[in-house]
């Protein structure tokens, strides 16, 4: 099937009260506009995004992620409104699906249902208990007669509960014929795309209502809408992965990025957060751990572990309060309280509690390389850049500031002194002073 898609994203999004353009606000780790583009890509090879407010910024973000998207700049000064947005848009195919950039929850399946049949126009219709804010749809038998914007409604029309979902599939010839003929004689002095419905009906064209789910076609206009949309998206993501065999304890407390991937048998405990393009393979992530854009295989992390971006954790045990950043650990144990940054650590190595890579000298970051079967005692500081070869033992409390050769023991420790009865002398003197 050949259809073109036009995504309207020129509006300002004032109600978000944000410096970030509305359509770039993120839902489950991805700008909401990208969710729309992803759905569109499943149906079409001809996608045009209409821009005006912060157009350069939005276009740049899209181009960094997608190839082959066309852009159209709306002349919003002279032709404001959704009808103005469609002026001068070129579509390659005979059917044009018009979407809103602020509807991140639409699925490709629902969009497909809008493209079926042979009506001149298919339009999305929602049945709402509270229709306020939407254009009301006047339906006669099975055909749409007109859409009346709320600001133009009579009080009787305001009671109509069938509203315009804002998504349409229109024959290209209809657009070419009617868009240039739109006027702005209405309460908002805007060019309304919705007016093509009445024009089509007047010329005996067919306009079919396609009833769609509110959950998918609700637009995001405020931060509150954004949070509700994310909740719905998260539920979908969790359900998908549970069906694929991921175990989740208290799933409602778990956050999973839309780009995260799970393989094998993974377990996520409550409060876990999986961010970015993380890939987990047979991983057990314990309660309240955060995984950011990392690869984890045959390993367990947490509770309360944090794996920061670009880490590779393989055949490894990471315990509580361990932070790993941009490091590769293979066959390692790090049970408690450690910071490992910019490091590569080999098989059989054990990191004691409180081990810290001092990877930053205030100007730049440096690497720590640790070989196989190294025993790193508790409270060791590894001052990078530093290389620890295989089969090394590092005594607790050591500050490692030079490379250690294979088989060596490294120990740096001020000699321990003891003073007999010091405690009693110290505190008795203090007390007797106070007594005076």
Catalytic residues: 336
Q: Which listed residue (31, 34, 49, 102) binds ligand UD1 by CB under 6 A? A: 102
Backbone CA torsion sign across 231, 234, 239, 242:
negative
Could you tell me how many residues of this chain bind ligand UD1 (CB under 6 A)? 27
**CB-based contacts of 414-422 (< 8 A; 24+ apart in sequence):** none
Least separation, in Å, of the C-beta of 92 and ligand UD1? 20
135: contact with ligand UD1 by CB under 6 A:
yes
Query: How far is CA 294 from its chain centroid?
Result: 15
76: contact with ligand UD1 by CB under 6 A:
yes
**CB-based contacts of 315-324 (< 8 A; 24+ apart in sequence):** 315/347
Task: Write the binding mask 188 to 207 for ligand UD1: x where contact by CB under 6 A, - elsewhere.
Answer: ----xxx-------------
Q: Which listed residue (5, 10, 170, 201) binds ligand UD1 by CB under 6 A? A: 10
Q: Which listed residue (104, 209, 219, 377) binds ligand UD1 by CB under 6 A? A: 219
CA–CA gap between residue 88 and residue 386 (Å, rounded): 62
Burial of residue 94 (number of CB atoms within 10 Å: 0-12, 13-18, 19+): exposed
Least separation, in Å, of the C-beta of 23 and ligand UD1? 7
- 203 phi and psi angles, rounded to 5 deg: -100, 25
* Residue 214 near residue 126, CB atoms below 8 Å: yes
Does the bond joining 351 to the residue before it have cis omega, within 30 degrees of 0? no
Residue whose CB is less far from ligand UD1, 80 or 346: 80
Segment 265 to 324, residues that bind ligand UD1, using CB under 6 A: none
74: contact with ligand UD1 by CB under 6 A:
yes
Q: Which listed residue (21, 101, 346, 371) binds ligand UD1 by CB under 6 A? A: 101
339: contact with ligand UD1 by CB under 6 A:
no
Segment 19 to 58, residues that bind ligand UD1, using CB under 6 A: 50
* Residue 284 near residue 267, CB atoms below 8 Å: yes
Residue whose CB is less far from ligand UD1, 232 or 242: 232
DSSP SS3 for 102: coil
Q: Which listed residue (4, 28, 44, 100) binds ligand UD1 by CB under 6 A? A: 100
Stretch that binds ligand UD1, among 32-40, 138-146, 187-195, 382-390 (CB under 6 A): 187-195
Residue whose CB is less far from ligand UD1, 150 or 389: 150
Q: Can you spell out the DSSP letters for 343-389?
A: EEE-TT-EE-TT-EEE-B-SS-B--EEE-SS-EE-TT-EEESSEEE-
Least separation, in Å, of the C-beta of 144 and ligand UD1? 12
- Residue in the shown chain whose Cβ atom is closest to ligand UD1: 135
**Closest listed residue to residue 229, CA positions, set 408, 434, 36:** 36
Stretch that binds ligand UD1, among 80-88, 265-273, 323-331, 382-390 (CB under 6 A): 80-88
Q: Which residues pair with 388 in a beta bridge?
A: 370, 404
Residue whose CB is less far from ligand UD1, 41 or 288: 41
For 178, residues 6+ apart whose C-beta sits below 8 A from its C-beta are 196, 199, 200
Residue whose CB is less far from ligand UD1, 11 or 346: 11
HSE-up of residue 215 (Cα within 13 Å, Cβ side): 8
Residue whose CB is less far from ligand UD1, 9 or 329: 9
Q: Which listed residue (3, 5, 9, 274) binds ligand UD1 by CB under 6 A? A: 9
* Residue 167 near residue 217, CB atoms below 8 Å: yes
Q: Which listed residue (44, 48, 164, 381) binds ligand UD1 by CB under 6 A? A: 164
**Closest listed residue to residue 344, CA positions, set 320, 363, 302, 316:** 316
Q: What is the DSSP pairing of strand 70-73 with strand 26-27? A: unpaired
Q: Which listed residue (36, 147, 272, 392) binds ligand UD1 by CB under 6 A? A: 147
- 65 phi and psi angles, rounded to 5 deg: -110, -30
Residue whose CB is less far from ligand UD1, 83 or 305: 83
Q: Can you spell out the DSSP letters for 401-423?
A: -S-B-TT-EE---PPP---TTHH
* Residue 71 near residue 90, CB atoms below 8 Å: no
85: contact with ligand UD1 by CB under 6 A:
yes
237: contact with ligand UD1 by CB under 6 A:
no
81: contact with ligand UD1 by CB under 6 A:
yes
Q: Which listed residue (96, 163, 207, 404) binds ligand UD1 by CB under 6 A? A: 163
Least separation, in Å, of the C-beta of 36 and ligand UD1? 9
**Closest listed residue to residue 102, CA positions, set 34, 55, 42:** 34
Residues contributing to the site for ligand UD1 (CB under 6 A):
8-11, 50, 74, 76, 80-82, 84-85, 100-102, 134-135, 147, 149, 163-166, 192-194, 219
């Amino acid at each position: 099937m050949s259809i073109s898609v036009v995504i309207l994203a020129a509006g300002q999004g004032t109600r978000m009260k944000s410096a970030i353009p509305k359509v770039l606000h993120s839902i489950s780790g991805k700008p909401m506009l990208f969710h729309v583009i992803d759905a569109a890509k499943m149906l079409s090879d001809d996608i045009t995004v209409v821009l005006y407010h912060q157009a350069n910024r939005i276009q740049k973000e899209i181009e960094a992620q997608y190839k082959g998207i066309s852009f159209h700049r709306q002349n919003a000064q002279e032709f404001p409104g959704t009808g103005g947005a469609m002026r001068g848009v070129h579509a390659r195919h005979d059917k044009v699906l018009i979407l809103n950039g602020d509807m991140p929850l639409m699925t490709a399946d629902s969009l497909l249902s809008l493209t079926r049949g042979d009506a001149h126009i298919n339009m999305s219709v929602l049945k709402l208990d509270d229709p306020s804010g939407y254009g009301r749809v006047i339906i006669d038998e099975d055909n749409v007669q007109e859409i009346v914007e709320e600001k133009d409604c009579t009080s009787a029309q305001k009671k109509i509960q069938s509203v315009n979902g804002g998504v349409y599939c229109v024959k290209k010839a209809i657009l070419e014929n009617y868009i240039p003929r739109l006027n702005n004689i209405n309460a908002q002095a805007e060019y309304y795309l919705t007016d093509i419905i009445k024009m089509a009906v007047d010329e005996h064209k067919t306009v079919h209502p396609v009833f769609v789910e509110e959950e998918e076609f609700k637009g995001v206009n405020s931060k509150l809408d954004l949070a509700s949309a994310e909740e719905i998206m998260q539920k979908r993501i969790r359900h998908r992965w549970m069906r694929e065999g991921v175990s989740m304890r208290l799933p409602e407390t778990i956050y999973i990025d839309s780009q995260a991937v799970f393989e094998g048998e993974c377990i996520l405990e409550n409060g876990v957060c999986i961010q970015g393009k993380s890939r987990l393979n047979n991983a057990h992530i314990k309660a309240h751990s955060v995984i950011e854009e990392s690869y984890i295989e045959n390993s367990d992390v947490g509770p309360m572990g944090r794996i920061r971006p670009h880490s590779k954790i393989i055949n490894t045990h990471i315990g509580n309060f361990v932070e790993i950043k941009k490091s590769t650990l293979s066959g390692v144990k790090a049970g408690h309280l450690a910071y490992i940054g910019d490091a590569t650590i080999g098989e059989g190595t054990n990191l004691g509690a409180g081990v810290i890579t001092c990877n930053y000298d205030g100007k730049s970051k440096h690497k720590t390389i640790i070989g196989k079967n190294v025993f790193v005692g508790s409270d060791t500081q590894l001052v990078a850049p530093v290389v620890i070869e295989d089969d090394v033992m590092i005594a607790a409390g050591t500050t490692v500031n030079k490379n250690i050769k294979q088989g060596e023991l490294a120990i740096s420790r001020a000699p321990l002194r003891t003073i007999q009865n010091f405690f009693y002398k110290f505190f008795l003197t203090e007390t007797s002073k106070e007594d005076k």
